[in-house]
Amino acid sequence: MSPIPQLDAVIIGGGIAGLWLANLLHQRGDRIVLLEAGQLGCGQTLASQGVIHGGIKYALGGSLTSASAAIAGMPDRWRRCLNGEGDIDLSGLTPLADANLLFADGSGLGRFRTFFASRMLQGRLQRLEPQHWPEALKGCTGWVYALNDLVIDTSALVEQLAAPVADRIYQHPFQAEQATAISDGWRLQLGDRVVQTRCLVLCAGAGNEQLSHGLGIDQIQMQRRPLRQVIVRSKRLKPLYGHCLTGISRSEPRLTITSHPDENGWLWYLGGQLAGDGVNMDDATLIRHARSELTTCLPWVDFHDAQLSILDVDRAEAAADGKRPDGAFAERHNHTIVCWPTKLSLAPDLGDRVLALLPKPSQRDSQDVRLKLPPAQSALLRWSR
């Protein structure tokens, strides 16, 4: 009988968390397999707005919170990756936007004056003169600042992360019943093969809850925070990446707008307060509210022929009393690590945490493990499906 193939890690889930970790572990010589139930990115990752941010949007109340401190270094970490000098080589990826804007119509800086001048924002924020405003903001009678955040095309990101590990990624909905605990890891029945792994890394997003409990890890709880994102389609739209702060009373942008190529030009994908408030509205009320928010926030744009639709998606993350967790989450229980990045932006933070929990790969000179399972394909962006 041939010996049972040995792996260092089996990663469950092919969103940003699983793909990022697959690259990190593969790079340092771990023998890995990634199992994705559907298509790569089909969960939250390809529904996200792709903003790689440093947490300033959490600090709009005027003070640096622990959440904004944990995330502050992330845009620089991603920029190094985009320059081919970071944790992972993303040099083939061109960001959709090199900066994200903060803007407000028809008002002075008001309570933002002191905040924008604070040391916390030095080097991270720059006022833009009207001649440097994007076309989509020509007509704004207020102010525009550029934040040193990035916006990335999540579809291209998934492709880029999948490429170096493509022959280790399989389409397979993993269930806890396929795993048997052994002294130094797990024995897994995968299709017609049995493999052993020193570690199971759960990156299944919302699927982590069922999997971790099925594997006997009851200490970890998950929370879902729903969002109702709004998609705006109109031939008139020009690309815009930014947070609208017009008349805000809470420490959250009123609208977060990202723009994505569409068959008729550009579509706008709206998050921010609108998407959170929308959870308590029925479809017709949310669409009416979104139209009204758009005309208040961007009165110079003609939305009369715009078509609006809604995309419902839950954020899945480690339980934090329904509040946003501060950083990425990775916790080890024997031979299983449960992960939630919390944010796309925090993927490098998740990588640090997981590497700290995993021993270096064992020095073995054995062959790669190949499974008789179909390869996983990449999903389409959620608004294109």
Given the rule CB under 6 A, which residues bind ligand FAD? Answer: 12-18, 35-38, 42-45, 47-51, 173-174, 203-205, 207, 211, 227, 229, 271, 313, 315, 340-345
Which residues sit opposite 259 in a β-bridge? 268
Question: How far apart (Å, rounded) are the C-alpha atoms in residues 166 and 34?
Answer: 9
- Closer residue to ligand FAD in complex, CB, 233/343: 343
- One DSSP character per residue, 251-300 reads SS-SEEEEEEEETTEEEEEEETHHHHHGGGS-HHHHHHHHHHHHHHH-TT
Q: Give min distance, CB of 270 to ligand FAD, in A.
A: 10
- Closer residue to ligand FAD in complex, CB, 226/261: 226
Strands 200-202 and 9-12, by their bridges, are parallel
Contacts of 354 (CB under 8 A, 6+ apart): 21, 24, 201, 330, 337, 339
- The answer to whether 12 and 18 are in contact (CB under 8 A) is yes
Report the alpha-carbon angle 15-20-24, nearest 5.
155
Q: Give min distance, CB of 381 to ligand FAD, in A.
A: 12
Question: How far apart (Å, rounded) are the C-alpha atoms in residues 187 and 190?
Answer: 10
- Closer residue to ligand FAD in complex, CB, 76/118: 76
- Laid out side by side, the sheet with 6-7 consists of 6-7, 193-197, 185-190, 179-182
Q: Give min distance, CB of 2 to ligand FAD, in A.
A: 26
Rounded to the nearest 10 degrees, how much is the dihedral formed by the CA atoms of 346, 210, 22, 80? Answer: -10
- The answer to whether 24 and 355 are in contact (CB under 8 A) is yes
Q: Give min distance, CB of 313 to ligand FAD, in A.
A: 4
- Closer residue to ligand FAD in complex, CB, 267/313: 313
Q: Give min distance, CB of 66 to ligand FAD, in A.
A: 17
- Closer residue to ligand FAD in complex, CB, 47/140: 47
Q: Give min distance, CB of 232 to ligand FAD, in A.
A: 15
The tokens for 379 are: 């999903």
- Closer residue to ligand FAD in complex, CB, 257/358: 257
- Closer residue to ligand FAD in complex, CB, 16/125: 16
Question: How far apart (Å, rounded) are the C-alpha atoms in residues 346 and 87?
Answer: 13
Return phi, psi of residue 240, to 5°.
Answer: -150, 135
Return phi, psi of residue 269, to 5°.
Answer: -115, 120
- Closer residue to ligand FAD in complex, CB, 196/342: 342
The tokens for 354 are: 């997981």
- Closer residue to ligand FAD in complex, CB, 48/196: 48
Q: Give min distance, CB of 317 to ligand FAD, in A.
A: 7
Q: Give min distance, CB of 62 to ligand FAD, in A.
A: 22
Q: Give min distance, CB of 160 to ligand FAD, in A.
A: 15
